Amino acid sequence: MADAFLKFAQLLVTGLVTGSVYALVALGFVLIYKSTSIINFAQGEFVLVGAYVCLWIVTGLGVPFIPAFILTMVGSVFMGLVVERLVLRPMIGEPIISVIMVTIGLAALLKALVTIFWGTQIRVFPAIFSQEPIRLGQVIVSEVYVWTFFFALLFLGVFAAFFKYSRVGIAMRAVASDQMTAQSMGIPVKLVFAISWCIAAIVSGVGGILIGNINGINITLADFGLKVFPAVIFGGLDSILGAIIGGLTVGVLENLMGGYLDQFFGGGVKEVAPFIVLIIVLMVKPYGLFGIKEIERV
């Protein structure tokens, strides 16, 4: 019984850490969708670019991790501005499917650039955190997991407060509610779009750095965005609270299902678990747990 509880606790803690990063990246999906009604299929590539840029600054330029982390955030802002201004803004007014296809093309471009500059082999960050494990009761946790969970929650808290209390956050919520009304009240809608893409790039970059410190990075890190998508659907595409709860829930379910079912199916359950959740949620609640149901009257 004690061993069973210990295994469950270990899987739960690992799932919460992974889920906190899922929630952070899911926040980027939700922000862009709320402000522009676009699903950004290049979100995983934002994760990939952020991780590689930070690693390059640390190992290639010899910059300590904290300044490299800050420089990566600045680079993420620049990337978000460039993408919004040069790629997405010319698509304003075009059919949604065309804009989505542009984000898919952007994803392929970013992945190709990463491959050209850094290759496809696995790279690891220098040991930034202590290798001494931390004991939480009987549960043993690596220090990098503790710091990952802390930073993910910190960024989620900062951005949640930003949306609720800052003038820019209130403007973003107004644009998300009704773009035409917000524009008529003097809110610069295009600027809000740009800010949304910048924040999405920032949270994705942070997610890439955190995951990179746990598992190392290679080109497959771009698939992280696809794994996060079930968490977004679970919580609701237009709900920030849903992104947080969905990310944590999918992270925990993924680890529990992998930990308990891999032995019966020969492995791989952890990889498909988020998509099993996605199918079930879409069947029961097509708009997610906290999504707003749209009703069309004809």
Reading the block at residue 237, the tokens are 């595409």
Mean pLDDT of 79-105: 85
Most confident of 47-56, 121-130, 192-201: 47-56
* 128 phi and psi angles, rounded to 5 deg: -95, -35
Q: For residue 254, name the pLDDT band (cuts at 50, 70, 90).
A: confident
7-16, 67-76, 191-200, 274-283, range with the lowest pLDDT: 274-283
pLDDT-wise least confident of 28-42, 120-134, 224-238, 277-291 = 277-291
Confidence check: pLDDT of 54 > 60: yes
The whole-number pLDDT of residue 53 equals: 94
Higher per-residue confidence, 14 vs 286: 14
Contact 209, 69 (CB under 8 A): yes
Q: CA of 257: how far to CAs of 60, 225, 269, in Å?
A: 39, 20, 7
pLDDT computed for residue 107 by the predictor: 92
Q: What is the mean pLDDT of residues 266-285?
A: 78
pLDDT top residue among 264 and 1: 264
Report yes or no: 229 and 222 within 8 Å, Cβ to Cβ.
Answer: no
Tell me the range of 38-42, 73-77, 153-157, 182-186 where mean pLDDT is highest: 73-77
Amino acid 297 reads: R
User: Please, is 123 exposed, middle or buried when counting C-beta atoms within 10 Å of its C-beta (0-12, 13-18, 19+)?
Assistant: middle
100: enclosing H helix or E strand: helix 96-118
* Mean pLDDT taken over the chain: 83
What local confidence, expressed as pLDDT, does residue 296 receive? 47
Structure tokens at 287: 């708009």
Answer with the residue of higher pLDDT: 128 or 251. Answer: 251
Q: What is the mean pLDDT of residues 282-288?
A: 75
State yes or no: pLDDT of 60 exceeds 80.
Answer: yes
